[in-house]
Copies of this chain bind each other. A is one copy, B any other.
Amino acid sequence: DGQALPGGDLAARLRFLTEADLLKSVHRANTLIDASRRENSGEHSWHLALYALVLGGYAGAGVDPGRVIRMLLLHDLVEIDTGDVPLHSAGGQAHHSAAVQAAETAAAERIFGLLPVSQAAEFLSLWREFEAVETPDAIFAKALDRCQPAIQNLRSGGAGWVEYDVTLADIEARVGPWVEQGAPEIWNWLWQELRHHFAE
């Protein structure tokens, strides 16, 4: 309600939303499906939230699709400071390095820290939950975050994979377990499509 939101808080929230605009200039390894350019992390976040809205019925028990959408809207904001670390870069090793995780945590604290304290704490907690991939909501969100770039690459003819020398076995190892855990029916579909693509 309005009484809980004095004018100073509104200015802080709008500064955060202005900062968020920078995510539209962070580029990812995969392209748009027409291969015209690389995808940016802002439009990727929209596409993922739409995935959650459309595919919520494939989530496991106890998943709250609205909460997954909130998680996905926020999940990449840290890349404003750190950039996107491609899943398949450095032979798949860079993505989960301790250095990357420390930088992302510092970024989350800075960026969510632009907000009034209670909202900052709420968003930081949602981001940490996504990163930990332990709750049903985070497990489903992570499944979608692994599945969407694979579909972008499939539908664009695999351009993003060629650049990083990605094999079917790499995808099975780096994408498969996450999608299978969070959305097994989607993994069944994706695995068939992937095998067909790499057999060609």
Q: Is A133 an interface residue (CB 8 A)?
A: no
Question: Chain A, 104-125, contact with B by CB distance < 8 Å: what is the 0/1 string?
Answer: 0000000000010001000000
For residue A45, which residue of chain B has the nearest CB? B46
Number of A residues with CB within 8 Å of any CB on chain B = 50
For residue A77, which residue of chain B has the nearest CB? B50
Copy total for this chain: 2
For residue A155, which residue of chain B has the nearest CB? B18
Tell me whether B24 and A43 are in contact (CB under 8 A).
Answer: yes
Q: Is A173 an interface residue (CB 8 A)?
A: no
Question: Chain A, 127-145, contact with B by CB distance < 8 Å: what is the 0/1 string?
Answer: 0000000000000000000
Chain A residues proximal to chain B, CB less than 8 Å = 1-2, 4-5, 7, 10-11, 13-14, 16-18, 20-22, 24-25, 32-34, 36, 39-40, 42-43, 45-47, 49-51, 53-55, 57-58, 66, 69-70, 73-74, 115, 119, 148, 151-152, 155, 185-186, 189
